[in-house]
Amino acid sequence: MLKSDKYKIILASGSPRRQQFFKDLDVDFEIRLKEVEEIYPPGLQAEQITDFLAQLKADAFKNEIAPNEILITSDTIVWHNGKALGKPKDYDDAVAMLQTMAGETHEVITSVCFTTADRSEIMHETTKVTFNPISDEAIHYYLDKYKPFDKAGAYGIQDWIGLTAISKIEGSYTNVVGLPTHRVYEFLNKPD
């Protein structure tokens, strides 16, 4: 039996891409949003960061989850050269991110936290993405036309840059978009 038959699924994400994934999975869900300042302790590395932030987002709903609800929160970062690249602060930050990743391989890490009234479970997924070299002209074209400022690493694999500059991907494509759907679906199908 699907957990979504027994539980009401609450998606705590304003991301249109994550919301679309849940629709595409044919999972009934409700959206609940809370503003959370996404600050993590210094010294955390890679999936420690996304695990912490996914849990932080869940903690904002503490004592508000009904016994028949599963709250789903998540966080995605790009991990490159030992550094987390989140959403760019501004245009120049986006340019710098894309320049540093051009011609190199980085990791996209997403953590998903499943929270019920009495417990939390976190899983994470890592996908390696390799970019071809990208000219500054192409970077400016992409940023001006597609404005990916709400995306970790300042790019969307499903956008123009994904079609023109990504030479290789190892792992889950949907994870790079922002949610490892196969893992979420697996969790929702797992017996209690």
Task: Catalogue the active-site residues.
Answer: 75
Structure tokens at 94: 């986006």
Query: Can you tell me the distance from the alpha carbon of 132 to that of 130, in angstroms, rounded to the nearest whole number?
Result: 7
The answer to whether 129 touches 106, Cβ cutoff 8 Å, is yes
Structure tokens at 7: 């539980």
Query: Can you tell me the distance from the alpha carbon of 105 to that of 62, in angstroms, rounded to the nearest whole number?
Result: 38
Q: Which residues contact 124 (CB under 8 A, 6 or more apart)?
A: 47, 50, 51, 109, 110, 111, 112
What are 95's strand-pairing partners?
Answer: none
Query: Can you tell me the distance from the alpha carbon of 160 to that of 165, in angstroms, rounded to the nearest whole number?
Result: 8
Structure tokens at 87: 């959403």
